[in-house]
């Protein structure tokens, strides 16, 4: 026996008369209710403390959570309030991985987004498509939703499943106003997407001129190298973006690439 006998007996609330049960493979007999006996095998008696916490089954979400996702997707604020008051989970998800807040951001309803956040929805939760609510709002150019989510604590550097940050998403769709808003939240600029591009390089490669101007006006270094040592100027010339090249040169860009040292 690995535990002191008296300690184990005390922990399980047994009397010393049951000592033999721990040394046998048979059932443990316990007298209950003043008469009769119940039989429980040892593994069952120890299951509560013997299994790792992560082995416990996840609770089944109430069906009302599916209704909340549908109401959030439809932008029905009154129905969302009723369902939350009836016990729907603001952070619940359906069988496809969809979440109420993600559905609300996709609909673009600021009132529902604000309501879900006030009721405890996490601003950084991902939905079925793998984007964060902030990334989705940035991609759609919804500066109002971006502001709401940032005030609720959304992380400006949190990436989606495509490795793109909210700033990448705003740049990709050339939403200069959203870029400016996100930059005020002090995101990490040398954050690379799946292709190894930071937002400035992405703006030059795509010809997102408004986003490019916003990044440079905020003080982003024009010769900042990407993961491969290539600069925004390289990408502007690589994809024949003459206006992007002009913008970069006007802001002091001087080189296409930096040497990359391989150890």
Q: Which residues in the chain are classed under CATH 1.25.40.20?
A: 60-129, 155-263
Q: Per residue in 164-184, pLDDT tens?
A: 899 999 999 999 999 999 999
Q: Is the pLDDT of residue 61 over 80?
A: no
Cβ atoms of 190 and 228 closer than 8 Å: no
The fold for domain 155-263 equals 1.25.40
Quickly count: other Cβ atoms within 10 Å of residue 36's Cβ: 7
Q: What is the pLDDT of residue 199?
A: 95
Tell me which residue of 205, 218, 206, 149 sits closest to 177, measured CA to CA.
218
207, pLDDT greater than 90: yes
pLDDT value of position 258: 80
pLDDT averaged over every residue in the chain: 81
Q: What is the pLDDT of residues 104-133, one digit of tens each?
A: 999 999 999 999 999 999 999 887 677 899
Return the pLDDT at 42: 42
Q: What is the dotted CATH code of the domain comprising 60-129? A: 1.25.40.20
Taking the mean position of all CA atoms in its chain, how far away is CA 79?
A: 26
Provide the pLDDT confidence category of residue 4 given band limits of 50, 70 and 90: low
Which range has the top average pLDDT, 22-31, 47-56, 142-151?
142-151
Residues 261 and 263: their CA atoms lie apart, in Å, by 6
Average pLDDT over residues 86-91: 90
What's the CA gap between 12 and 69, in Å, rounded? 45
């Amino acid at each position: 026996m690995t535990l002191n006998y008296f300690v184990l007996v005390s922990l399980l609330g047994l009397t010393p008369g049951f000592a033999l049960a721990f040394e046998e493979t048979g059932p443990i007999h316990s007298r209950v209710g003043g008469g009769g006996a119940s039989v429980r095998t040892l593994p069952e008696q120890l299951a509560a403390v013997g299994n790792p916490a992560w082995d416990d089954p996840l609770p089944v979400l109430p069906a009302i959570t599916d209704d909340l996702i549908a109401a959030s997707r439809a932008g029905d604020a009154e129905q969302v309030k009723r369902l939350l008051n009836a016990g729907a989970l603001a952070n619940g998800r359906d069988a496809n991985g969809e979440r109420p807040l993600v559905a609300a951001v996709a609909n673009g309803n600021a009132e529902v987004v604000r309501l879900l956040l006030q009721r405890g929805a996490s601003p950084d939760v991902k939905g079925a498509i793998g984007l964060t609510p902030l990334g989705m709002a940035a991609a759609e150019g919804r500066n109002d939703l971006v502001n709401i989510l940032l005030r609720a604590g959304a992380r400006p550097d949190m990436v989606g499943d495509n490795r793109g940050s909210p700033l990448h998403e705003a740049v990709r769709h050339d939403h200069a106003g959203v870029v400016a808003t996100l930059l005020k939240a002090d995101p990490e600029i040398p954050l690379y997407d799946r292709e190894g591009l930071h937002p400035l390089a992405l703006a030059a490669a795509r010809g997102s001129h408004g986003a490019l101007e916003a990044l440079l006006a905020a003080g982003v270094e024009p010769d900042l190298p990407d993961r491969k040592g290539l600069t925004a100027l390289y990408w502007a010339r690589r994809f024949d973006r003459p206006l992007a090249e002009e913008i970069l040169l006007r802001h002091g860009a001087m080189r296409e690439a930096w040497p990359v040292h391989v150890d």
